Amino acid sequence: DAGVTQSPTHLIKTRGQQVTLRCSPKSGHDTVSWYQQALGQGPQFIFQYYEEEERQRGNFPDRFSGHQFPNYSSELNVNALLLGDSALYLCASSVQGTGQPQHFGDGTRLSIL
Amino acid sequence: QKEVEQNSGPLSVPEGAIASLNCTYSDRGSQSFFWYRQYSGKSPELIMFIYSNGDKEDGRFTAQLNKASQYVSLLIRDSQPSDSATYLCAVRRGYQKVTFGTGTKLQVIP
């Protein structure tokens, strides 16, 4: 039973570029949440997708956008990258409406030069 | 006031001792409470979750919740060097977003 998988593992970009991160949820999960974790901080909620729609959003600018596909996988897109976007990006999946805990993928380490 | 507050540590305990990690939260409507363990450079791993007041035990781990005091804690008995990590407290209201604290770094000294 595959857990949450994220790709790529590491990514290096320069300021102003755009990036797309990918996530496949755990089997049986239908909801995907994205988090940004800066060094020494806790994960910060970016947004959540369910039924291919953004359901909730944290305090992030609209440079951060996402998508969910019919197979429940998801993408996080970040435009006009800033140095401050350097972080570990985490995807977590869950089953909507159950209240059960989220399961995290291994994350994508994004470095902006 | 931060939504979820944790002492950043480090909390140092000798091997075999009990480690006590604490967390307070500001939203009285919070209903679900989670503890995640995160090793350096890795993603968070779920350790415990608790929904009702009182204690919940799982092996060497005990989660304690006091909603009246807006306080949740994690006890680790017989601490091992492999328990050395950052422990993240997280809370959720209903099916809303999960809010994390900044984590407490635990060091278990052999």
Look at residue B11 in the predicted model and tell me its pLDDT.
96
CB contact under 8 A, A43 and B88: yes
Residue of A nearest to B48 (CA): A101
Residue B108 CB contacts under 8 Å (≥ 6 apart), including other chains: B12, B13, B14, B15, B19, B79, B80, B81, B82, B83, B84
Nearest beta carbon to residue B97 from set A48, A96, A101:
A48
DSSP-derived secondary structure letter, A25: P
Distance CA A46, CA A55 (A): 11
**Tens of pLDDT, residues B18-57:** 999 999 999 999 999 999 999 998 999 999 999 999 999 9
Look at residue B33 in the predicted model and tell me its pLDDT.
96
Chain B residues inside the 8 Å CB shell of A88 = 43
Q: Does B101 touch chain A (CB under 8 A)?
A: yes
Q: Is the pLDDT of residue A99 over 80?
A: no
CB contact under 8 A, A107 and B103: no
User: Beta strands B45-50 and B98-100: pairing type?
Assistant: unpaired
**Tens of pLDDT, residues B59-93:** 999 999 999 999 999 999 999 999 999 999 999 98
In chain A, the percentage of residues whose pLDDT exceeds 90 is 91
Torsion angle, CA of B39/B42/B43/B46, rounded to 10 degrees? Answer: -30
**Tens of pLDDT, residues A69-93:** 999 999 999 999 999 999 999 999 9
In chain B, the percentage of residues whose pLDDT exceeds 70 is 100
The number of angstroms, rounded, from the C-alpha of B90 to the middle of its chain's C-alpha atoms is: 8
